[in-house]
Amino acid sequence: MADYFFTLFDTALGRCGLAWGDAGLVAVSFPEDDDARTIARLTRRAADAVETLPPTAIQRVIDDIVALFNGEPRMFDYVDLDMARIADFDRDVIALTLAVKPGETKTYGDLAKALGDVALSRRVGQALGRNPFPILAPCHRIVGANGLMTGFSAPGGTTTKQRLLKIEGALAPDLFDAL
């Protein structure tokens, strides 16, 4: 029997993916250029994962991600995240990120200070770049100093980051949002 499973699903941003095991989700993927790359991203964290239909708990996460990308704010605090193979520093950064609620933002410096030293800001950014749970561990809510949109490696980059922050109410809509 497989230790890990994955599924792909369609959203307003493209085909995303989730990988999970007995202890919870191990990976979330924004859409890549094609399904093979999305699967490759998921299986980096879930080696030998088998594609399957999602069980009820995973389907709930999918439904909420789809709703979020359609402009409906969602909370993901109910999701079990398997952090067993994540480095301690990265786990600490993810924990701080999970505490940032929809409609709020924090800076890389805020997280670094919470970890004990503002000089850790670059390491915080690197840890968020390795975040295996984008969307659920909301790295899009972490911004540069003075609210600058920096450091978002998902497809669409900072434009996607801004879109998610607008959906959640952290940024006001602008003139081009109605187009």
pLDDT tens digits for range 82-100: 999 999 999 999 999 999 9
For residues 178 and 175, what is the distance between their CA atoms, to the nearest angstrom? Answer: 7
Catalytic annotation present for 139: yes
Residues 113 and 52 in one domain: no
pLDDT digits over 120-158, tens only? 999 999 999 899 998 899 888 888 887 767 766 666 667
In DSSP terms, which residues pair with 14 in a beta bridge? 11
Domain CATH number, residue 121 = 1.10.10.10
First and final C-alpha spacing in the chain: 49
**Which amino acid does the sequence have at 8?**
L
Structural domain of 23: 4-69
User: Is 179 among the domain residues?
Assistant: no
pTM: 0.87
Catalytic pick among 81, 93, 139, 167? 139
Residues 59 and 105 in one domain: no
The string of DSSP letters for 99-163 reads TS-TT--EEHHHHHHHTT-GGGHHHHHHHHHT-S-TTTS-GGGEE-GGG------STTHHHHHHH
In DSSP terms, which residues pair with 7 in a beta bridge? 18
